[in-house]
A and B are shown apart, each in its own frame.
Chain A
Amino acid sequence: MLKYFVMTCEALMISAILTGACTGYAEQRYPKTGKITLFVGTVLGILGAAVMAYLKNATKLIDTSLWNMRNFIAAAVVLVVFFLVSALQKPMKCVGDFLPPILLCLLPALVIFYALPDVLAYPYVILLTEKTVLSTNFLLKTVGILFGLAMMVLIAAAVRRGMRRLPKPSDFLMLTLLLLVHTARQISVVLRIMLTKRMISSNHTLFSIAKFSSNHDNWFTFAVIGIAAVIPLILLVKYAKITELYHNPAEHRKLRKAQRMTRTWAGVILCCMVFSVLNLTSIKTYANRAVELSPVEDSVIQDGNVVVRFEQVEDGHLHRFAYVSENGVQIRFIVIKKPNSSAYGIGLDACDICGETGYYEKDGQVVCNLCDVVMNINTIGFKGGCNPIVIPYTIENGSIYVPIEGLLAYEKEFK
């Protein structure tokens, strides 16, 4: 659940902040048309993302990279036109109140159209492994996604309220900074797409830029969070005292209420931004931590074999044993009694695909520690896929005999 919460937040963080910022700015600057156009833009983005999520996962029609590139170029064109129109608004009175909000509404639409399809497709990805929507895992992961979406709605709403209250021209400055960072990221992604698709020839400089931007992609997210965190700071300074004139107690109460509301939303934005940083650092690390494998159990060395007695392993749970080679390498193997059978699944605690990462037991299932693939317990002991590497063994007198020679052949799997 936590992993999907973090994944959802990470995927949508920039979109949520930008949507909130564009909406708040439009509502303040263009009170007549801003609200409705930005609402339409957001809804269009969500509907487009839903269609894209379907097309990406149910058809072969979509080359995601190409669509992202189109999206980013369109966003850049909109951005340039928006700044031109904003700069020329006074001399060009004809553009009035309708053109800038229309351009602004396209930005959240495009950014949502880019980021949301992957999140909407998470349930489909989960179903690939869970097989049914009725499983506990599916439910928990879906709840994680829903919490993530709720968090993003809260962030967008808080940033919108904050932007709406920012004094001019700091609202324009904040919006410009957010859009510039976002555009810088989009340019870096377009470069990566063009290099990968070989639309342009690679050279050392271009590849170095692409490599750096790819390996530090989260810097853009943190930059956007950092800029958004300045919004409440400006609000807290501006609304520290009531500076507006009032003529009667009623007006004073109204101003005090506005001050309280502004400070409350400033606090909400600050809390959201601090939480977002924690979410994308500490919580993410925690959510993706490796599962600690159960300890190696005792076994007996006898006549060149590691001997495991049936009593040790007949409870139907996963058991881990090991032999330590002369080089000090611990060569692990697992044993599990197969369900509704007297047979045992025996294999190395490593697979060809994922190496020595090992397996753990969860809810009666054996799971690969690296790729989360759930093993069919009945096929443990057979070669293939992410199954444990097959090792030789014999069963005699109520014990499992695993030849040390057979284990040593796989010493290199355990570094």
Chain B
Amino acid sequence: MNKKLIGIALIAAIAASLTACGSSTTSTAEVSSAAPASVAEADTEAPETEAEKTEAEVKTDALAPGDDAAGFTEYPIFEDEEVGFLNVSAVYFQPVPMSGGNENTEDFNIHLEADVSALENNLGFGVGDWVPYMTVDYKIVASSGDTAAEGSFMVMSASDGPHYGANVKLPDADTYSIEFTFHSPEENGYLLHTDAETGPGGSFDEYFKDGNLKVTYEGWEYVPQEW
């Protein structure tokens, strides 16, 4: 009888520890202690801003409310950097298969994503609209100064909407700097009405006259995960 009681008590204790730990799926912490610095700029200028505090949130419920999607947790790199008419956030999560022959995920560590939305502008985009037709280059530089990964994002849709993204091979933990370069939508043939009656009133040259738009974030403390 005693043996059974002790056994039951131990199993109950283990079960309690299993259910108690890690039940929170959304957490927030200030990441300013690592002194990340964000710089948004045009190609020809480099106006550095001060290192700012970022309330970065690990979002588990990226889908519609009520949709149980613990497997889709976005890990923020930076949020709401503003450059030109763009508001830019960067997140990553597990490598994902994509259509068009891009189903392979086995050689990649993360899916890197640039979420780009429009700020107040006279290009016809509503505030908060996703901005299409851009070529977006990414470059990830290790603390040694070596380029760890670079390329151009593909355009795609996930369950939370359209974005620029790519599966990236980034096997080493390090403090990286990450740079996004935004080319004008006009380069890919995006047109604006230019007449007074129907045109939005602006032109892409207003924002891209000094070259491509860039957002750089330094101090991304990255550790590979088991997905």
Q: Interface of A with B (CB < 8 Å)? A: 56, 59-66, 68-70, 73-74, 77-78, 81, 94-96, 98-99, 102-103, 106, 118, 125, 128-129, 189, 192-193, 195-204, 207, 210-211, 214-215, 352-355, 370-376, 379, 384-386
Q: How far is the CA of A106 from the CA of B221 in the complex (A)?
A: 35
Q: How far is the CA of A61 from the CA of B70 in the complex (A)?
A: 5
Q: How far is the CA of A201 from the CA of B100 in the complex (A)?
A: 40
Q: How far is the CA of A189 from the CA of B28 in the complex (A)?
A: 20
Are A375 and B225 in touch, CB under 8 angstroms? Answer: no
Q: Which residues of A have CB within 8 Å of B226? A: 64-65, 68, 118, 189
Point out the residue from B22, B103, B221 that lies within 8 Å of A128, measured CB to CB.
Answer: B103
Q: Which residues of B have CB within 8 Å of A60? A: 63, 67-72
| B224 CB-CB contact with A under 8 Å | yes
Point out the residue from A63, A65, A125, A384 that lies within 8 Å of B154, measured CB to CB.
Answer: A384
| B60 CB-CB contact with A under 8 Å | yes
Count of CB-CB pairs between chains A and B under 8 Å: 164
Task: State how many angstroms separate the Cβ of B223 from the closest Cβ of chain A.
Answer: 5
| B198 CB-CB contact with A under 8 Å | no
Task: State how many angstroms separate the Cβ of A61 from the closest Cβ of chain B.
Answer: 6
Q: How far is the CA of A374 from the CA of B167 in the complex (A)?
A: 16
Q: Which residues of A have CB within 8 Å of B30? A: 201
Q: Which 9 pairs between the two chains have the least Cβ-Cβ distance?
A: A352-B152, A214-B173, A198-B29, A211-B173, A128-B103, A60-B69, A63-B70, A60-B71, A66-B22
Are A195 and B221 in touch, CB under 8 angstroms? Answer: yes
Q: How far is the CA of A59 from the CA of B68 in the complex (A)?
A: 10
Are A199 and B7 in touch, CB under 8 angstroms? Answer: no
Are A95 and B3 in touch, CB under 8 angstroms? Answer: yes
Are A81 and B10 in touch, CB under 8 angstroms? Answer: yes
| B151 CB-CB contact with A under 8 Å | yes
Interface-side segment among B11-19, B42-50, B123-131, B206-214:
B11-19
Q: How far is the CA of A196 from the CA of B77 in the complex (A)?
A: 10
| B24 CB-CB contact with A under 8 Å | yes
Q: Show 17 residue pairs from A and B whose CB-CB distance is below 8 angstroms, ordered by the A residue.
A: A63-B70, A65-B73, A69-B22, A70-B21, A81-B14, A98-B3, A195-B221, A196-B58, A197-B58, A197-B73, A197-B75, A201-B30, A202-B29, A353-B151, A353-B166, A375-B101, A385-B101
Point out the residue from B2, B14, B27, B151 that lies within 8 Å of A197, measured CB to CB.
Answer: B27
Q: Which residues of B have CB within 8 Å of A78? A: 14
Q: Residue on B with the closest CB to A72?
A: B21
Q: Residue on A with the closest CB to B98?
A: A385
Are B172 and A215 in touch, CB under 8 angstroms? Answer: yes
Point out the residue from A196, A199, A211, A385 that lies within 8 Å of B102, measured CB to CB.
Answer: A385
| B105 CB-CB contact with A under 8 Å | yes
Are B227 and A74 in touch, CB under 8 angstroms? Answer: no
| B97 CB-CB contact with A under 8 Å | yes
Most chain B beta carbons < 10 A, residue from A73, A199, A385: A385
Are B225 and A196 in touch, CB under 8 angstroms? Answer: yes
Q: Residue on B with the closest CB to A211?
A: B173
Most chain A beta carbons < 10 A, residue from B21, B97, B108, B154: B21
Are B71 and A198 in touch, CB under 8 angstroms? Answer: no
Task: State how many angstroms separate the Cβ of B114 from the closest Cβ of chain A.
Answer: 14
Q: How far is the CA of A322 from the CA of B176 in the complex (A)?
A: 34
Knowing A74-B18, A373-B102, A385-B102 are in contact, say whether A201-B33 is a contact too (CB < 8 A): yes
| B52 CB-CB contact with A under 8 Å | no
Q: How far is the CA of A215 from the CA of B190 in the complex (A)?
A: 44
Q: Residue on A with the closest CB to B92?
A: A196
Q: Which residues of A have CB within 8 Å of B141? A: none
Q: Which residues of B have CB within 8 Å of A198? A: 27-29, 31, 56, 58
Knowing A94-B3, A198-B56, A371-B107 are in contact, say whether A64-B102 is a contact too (CB < 8 A): no
Task: State how many angstroms separate the Cβ of A63 from the closest Cβ of chain B.
Answer: 4
